[in-house]
């Protein structure tokens, strides 16, 4: 799974293969503006730590980007989460709009309680 982040009009790019809780901290405050998803499904959040405050979460605070898509992430470049690659499973989120902590369950596993 991978996503390439870039800055519009700049040769600066970086490839990631896993989730990042604080994107600006991880990238030394570089404000990436474009995401090109090579593999997987990624959720980009406006805030660090996957929009931890449910009271501030709304549909404009995140963007879901699938394989092959190139999207403007300039308003949602606080953190990013790679959804698990499972054909039969479920990801539960703590807050609506995909925010907060997550729990993943797949076919054959014990249910999440």
Distance of CA 57 to the CA centre of its chain: 14
pLDDT at 54: 55
The 10s digit of each residue's pLDDT in 50-98 is 876 656 666 778 899 999 999 999 999 999 999 887 656 788 877 777 7
The pTM score is 0.81
**In the chain, where the domains are located:** 2-85
Alpha-carbon distance 7 to 91, whole Å? Answer: 30
Q: Domain spanning 2-85 has what CATH number?
A: 2.60.20.10
Q: What is the pLDDT of residue 7?
A: 93
């Amino acid at each position: 799974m991978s996503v390439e982040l870039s800055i519009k009009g700049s040769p600066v790019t970086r490839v990631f293969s896993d989730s990042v809780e604080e994107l600006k901290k991880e990238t030394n405050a570089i404000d990436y503006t474009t995401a090109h998803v090579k593999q997987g499904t990624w959720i980009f959040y406006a805030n660090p730590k996957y929009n931890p405050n449910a009271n501030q979460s709304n549909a404009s605070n995140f963007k879901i980007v699938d394989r092959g898509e190139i999207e403007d992430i300039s308003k949602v470049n606080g953190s990013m989460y790679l959804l698990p690659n499972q054909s039969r499973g479920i990801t539960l989120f703590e807050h609506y709009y995909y925010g907060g902590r997550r729990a993943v369950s797949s076919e054959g596993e014990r249910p999440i309680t």
